[in-house]
Amino acid sequence: MPSSTPVRTAGACTPSTNPTSDPVIEGAGVGLRMPHLGELLADADAEQPQLDIPWLELLADNWLAPGGESLGGINRELLDAASERFALTLHGVGLSLGSCGELDMHYLKRIKQLQRHTGARWYSEHCSFSWESQRQHYAPDLLPLPYTDEAVMLLAQHICQVQDFMGEPLLLENVSSYVQYEHSQLTEAEFINAVLHEADCLLLLDINNVYVTSYNETAAQSAEQGQLPPNDLRTQSLASAEHFLRQMPHQRVKEIHLAGHESIERNDHNFLLDTHSQPVCEDVWRLYQRYITEQGPRATLIEWDSDLPSLAQLDGERRNAQNILDECVHSIPAAHAQQSRDNHPWTQELSTQARPTKILSAKVPSKQVLAP
C-alpha cells in the first residue's frame, strides 16, 4: 500500500549552482549507465571512496524523458545527485546533424537546458544521420553519410547552428560504418577534416569506431579480392586505422572514446559490430596508446552500453586508460608538455560567449587541398 508521503514537487528550471558547474574534464572517465549510478553515488559519499573516477558522460537522450520539466523527468533527483558529485559531459545520439532539412531546435533547446542544469562541460554528437525530414521518421541508429561536398556543407552548417545556439564548440564524433557509398568523393579522413575546418568545431575521436570501420572496409575488400587470412586482415586493419588516425587534425581532438566490439561471421564474411558490449580489444588499446604517446593526453571515456559489466570491471577498463595517460604525462619533459598543451586549443578555456554566426564560404573542400 502506498504511504502518505507526497510526491515531491519539481522545482523551477534553473541553472545548476553546484560546485562542479565549471569542472575540468581530464583523465579517464566512464559513460554513466543507470545500473551503476547507485554504487557510484554511494562510493562518492563514502568516507574512503574506492573509485577515483574523475568524470562521467551522460547520454543526454536518456535524460530527456517527458515529464518533470524535461530535466531528467522523475529521475531528476538522481541527475542532481550525479551532477553534484561528478564532473559531467553530455553526449547525444538524437540530433541527427547530417539530416537534410532544418535542425530540430526544440530538441536542442532541451539539450541546452540539460547542460545548464547539470553544468556539463561540453556536448558531443555524431557524424551521421538518423532523421528523415520528408516523412519525419526516426531511426534509432547512426546511419552513415556519403563523403560528398554536399554532406560536408550541410553538416558544417548544422554544426555552426548548434555552436551558435549552445554558445560553445561542439565535439563531433566519427562513427563506425559497415558500408561505403560508391559516389563518395572524399575519404572519411578527408571528410572529417573538411567538416571540422568548415564548422570550426572539435573532434571526439572514437578509436574503436576507427578500428571497426577500418576492419570492415578491409574485410569487404578482401572478400572481393580473395579472403585474407585472419591475422593478415587484422594487421591490415590496424595499419589502415593508424593511417586514419595520423590524418586527424590533432589540435581539434578534445576527447577520445574507447569501447568494445563483437566479431561477426556471416556467409563467410567477417565484420566487426560496434556493440559496446565487450572490453576494449588489444588492437584498440594499441592504437590508443600510440595516439596518446604521439599527440599527448586527451580526456578519455570508456563506453559500455549492453551486457553491462560490474562497476568494478568497468573501472578496471578505465584504469587501463588512466595508466596510459599517466605514463604519457610522465614521459613528456615538463617544458615540452607545457608547450604542447599551450599549443592545443583543447587546453584552453571553452568560450561561454556566443560566437557570431559563421557564414560558410562557397569553397568546396577538395581532395588535393586536404591530401597530406
Nearer to other proteins by C-beta: 19 or 67?
Answer: 67
Q: Enumerate residues 6+ apart whose C-beta is below 8 A from 309.
A: none
Amino acid, res. 366: S
Nearer to other proteins by C-beta: 88 or 145?
Answer: 145
Nearer to other proteins by C-beta: 96 or 320?
Answer: 96
The CB-of-254 to other proteins minimum distance in angstroms stands at 24
The CB-of-33 to other proteins minimum distance in angstroms stands at 14
Over the range 254-269, which residues count as b (16 or more CB within 10 Å of their CB) and which as e? bbbbbbbbbeeeeeee
The CB-of-127 to other proteins minimum distance in angstroms stands at 14
Nearer to other proteins by C-beta: 33 or 76?
Answer: 76
Helix 311-331 and helix 34-45, axial crossing angle in degrees, nearest 10: 70
Nearer to other proteins by C-beta: 153 or 256?
Answer: 153
Q: Enumerate residues 6+ apart whose C-beta is below 8 A from 77.
A: 8
Round to whole Å and give the CA distance between 43 and 232. Answer: 45
In terms of DSSP bridges, do strands 202-206 and 129-132 run parallel, antiparallel, or are they unpaired? Answer: unpaired
Closest CA to 298 of 331, 343, 253, 260: 253
Closest CA to 91 of 119, 55, 116, 125: 125
Closest CA to 55 of 39, 32, 36: 32
Closest CA to 296 of 343, 350, 258: 343
Nearer to other proteins by C-beta: 145 or 204?
Answer: 145
Nearer to other proteins by C-beta: 64 or 324?
Answer: 64
The CB-of-312 to other proteins minimum distance in angstroms stands at 26
The CB-of-79 to other proteins minimum distance in angstroms stands at 13
Cα 123 vs. chain centroid, distance in angstroms? 9
9: which DSSP letter? P
The CB-of-239 to other proteins minimum distance in angstroms stands at 18
The CB-of-231 to other proteins minimum distance in angstroms stands at 21
Tell me phi and psi for residue 124, to 5 degrees: -125, 150
Residue with C-alpha cell 600510440? 290
Distance between first and last Cα of the chain: 69
The CB-of-215 to other proteins minimum distance in angstroms stands at 12
Tell me phi and psi for residue 357, to 5 degrees: -60, 130
Residue with C-alpha cell 556566443? 354
101: which DSSP letter? S
The CB-of-350 to other proteins minimum distance in angstroms stands at 25
Round to whole Å and give the CA distance between 255 and 176. Answer: 16
The CB-of-310 to other proteins minimum distance in angstroms stands at 21
Nearer to other proteins by C-beta: 151 or 199?
Answer: 151
Nearer to other proteins by C-beta: 180 or 293?
Answer: 180
Cell numbers representing residue 333 in the block: 619533459
Nearer to other proteins by C-beta: 267 or 361?
Answer: 267
